[in-house]
Amino acid sequence: MNSAELISSFAEFAREKNMDKTRISEMLEEVMRAMIRKKYGSDENFDVIVNAESGDLEMRRVRTIVADDSEDLGLPDTVSLSEARKVEPDFEIGEEFAEDIKLEDFGRRIVLTARQTLIQKIKDIEKDSFYRKYSEQQGDIITAEVYQVLGREIILLDKEGNELVLPKGEQIPKDRFRKGDVIRAVIHKVDLINGVNPKVILSRTSPEFLERLFEQEIPEITDGLIAIRKIVREPGERAKVAVESFDDRIDPVGACVGMKGSRIHSIVRELNNENIDVINYTDNLELYISRTLNPARISSTKVEENGRVSVFLKPDQVPLAIGKGGFNIKLASRLVGMEIDVFRDAEDFEEEDDVELVEFEGEIENWILEELSRIGLDTARSVLDLGRAELIKRSDLEEETIDYLLDLLQKEFEE
C-alpha cells in the first residue's frame, strides 16, 4: 500500500463520518509522526505535510551536515559529510541535508497498523461527538425509527443511523411497536458503557416527555405566558399537570385543553389514551388540594402538623377522590407534595346507622376487605351506597363476590 492509497482510503472513510478535511489532515499527520518516532526515535527533525483532499503525503528528514570526525555525529539531527556527498557532491559542512522518506520504507506491517490506528481514531472521535451531541440534547424530544424489537428493549435509529435504546421500563405499558415504526421519545440520559461506548437511553414514561409534548402543542407555554409548575404520571393510566398563567387574560387550563379538547387530544393520543388532568396552580393550599382531587367535591380540608392532609367528603365522592386503582389520590399526593388521607364526612350519617367493615372479618375474607379499603370503602353503608355497577367498575372483585358482599351487608341493616 503506497501513501496515496492509504490517505485516499482513510479520507473516504472519514468523509463518510462527516469529518472536515482539516481534521483528517491533522489526524494523518499525528499517525505519520508516531510511525517516525517508532522507527527513528524522534520526529523533531522531520517535516510532515499531508493533503487529504489530493492524497499527497510528504515526509522529509532534515539534518545538519557535520565532519566525519565530529563529536556531534550520531545525533538524530546530524549526518556526516561523506554520507551527504553520496547524494550531492558539492555539499559542505553546516548545510542542511533534506532526505525524502517514503511510506514504503516503514514496512507493510507498520503501514497496516497505521491504517487501523487511523480508523480507530475516527471511531473514537465519532463516539465522542455522539456522546456530546446527545448529552447536550438531554431532556429534548427526538423522533427515531424502530430498528429491532427485543424482549427487554427496543433499538431505534436516528437520522444519522446511530443506535438509540428505549428500555421496556421506559415504554408506556400500552406501547406496541414494530420494525419501521417512527416514534417520539425524550432523551432520558446518556451512559458510557465501560467508560468508552456511549449509550443513549430514551423514555416515554418520564414527566419530561409529557412536558415537551405540552411545549410543542401549546404556543402559550413556548411564549412564556403559561408555565408548567409540576407534572406527575402513572404512565398509560393518568397524569396531572399543574399550570400557571402570567397573564390574567389567559385561562391556563383552557389554553392547554384547547377548543373542544383539540390541543390535549393530540397529546393523549401520543400517550396511548393516558388521562391527563390539567390543574390551575395556586398558592392557596386547600384550594390547590381541592383542584388536584377533581372530579371529587371536597367538604373540608385539614392540614396536619405531620405534613399530612385530611380531606373529608360525602360518601359518594370518596371513590371519585381515590379513583380507579387509587391513581387519583396517589397523583394528587405527589403533585401537592403531601400525603393525602381521605375520610367520609361524619355529618352525613349517624354513627349508629353504619357498621365498620372490620366487624365483618369472620364473614368477609381479609383480601376482600383490603380491596374495599383500597378504593376508599371502610363501612357497610359506603359499599351499599356505591352500588353494584360502580363496585364492578372500580374494584378487582368478581361479580359473584360483589353480589355476596352486597347481600350480606344489606341483611345487616334489614336486621
Q: In the chain, where are the structural domains located?
A: 3-131, 139-203, 206-281, 349-414
CA distance 54 to 32: 17
CA distance 402 to 414: 18
For the chain, how far is it from start to end, CA to CA, in angstroms?
Answer: 102
DSSP 347: G
The helix or strand, by DSSP H or E, that contains position 68, with its residue range, turns out to be: none
User: What pLDDT was estimated at residue 8?
Assistant: 67
In terms of Cα–Cα distance, which of 375, 293, 373, 385 is closest to 340?
293
Cα radius of gyration (the chain): 37
CA distance 66 to 402: 108
CB 309 within 8 A of CB 303: yes
CA distance 146 to 152: 14
Cell 390551575 sits on residue: 280
Give, in words, the CATH class of 3-131: alpha beta
Q: φ, ψ for residue 383 (rounded to 5)?
A: -70, -45
Parallel, antiparallel, or unpaired for β 163-167 and 56-66? unpaired
Question: What's the topology of domain 349-414?
Answer: DNA polymerase; domain 1 (1.10.150)
DSSP 348: G
CA distance 115 to 12: 13
- In the three-class reduction of DSSP (H, G, I as helix; E, B as strand; rest coil), residue 385 is classed as helix
Cell 375520610 sits on residue: 343
CA distance 340 to 318: 12
CA distance 332 to 290: 9
Cell 399537570 sits on residue: 241
Q: Does 206-281 match 139-203 at the fold level?
A: no
Other Cβ atoms closer than 10 A to 273: 12
The helix or strand, by DSSP H or E, that contains position 271, with its residue range, turns out to be: none
Instruction: Using CB atoms within 10 Å of the CB of residue 6, give its burial: 0 to 12 exposed, 13 to 18 middle, 19+ buried.
Output: buried
User: What pLDDT was estimated at residue 176?
Assistant: 92
Other Cβ atoms closer than 10 A to 53: 13
Question: What's the topology of domain 139-203?
Answer: OB fold (Dihydrolipoamide Acetyltransferase, E2P) (2.40.50)
Residue at 409: amino acid letter: L
Architecture of domain 206-281: 2-Layer Sandwich (3.30)
User: What pLDDT was estimated at residue 352?
Assistant: 47
CB 98 within 8 A of CB 49: no
User: What pLDDT was estimated at residue 187?
Assistant: 96
In terms of Cα–Cα distance, which of 41, 94, 87, 32 is closest to 60?
32
Residues 6+ apart with CB under 8 A from 179: 146, 147, 148, 149
Low-confidence stretches of the chain (pLDDT < 70) are: 1-21, 52-55, 346-353, 414-415
User: What pLDDT was estimated at residue 349?
Assistant: 47
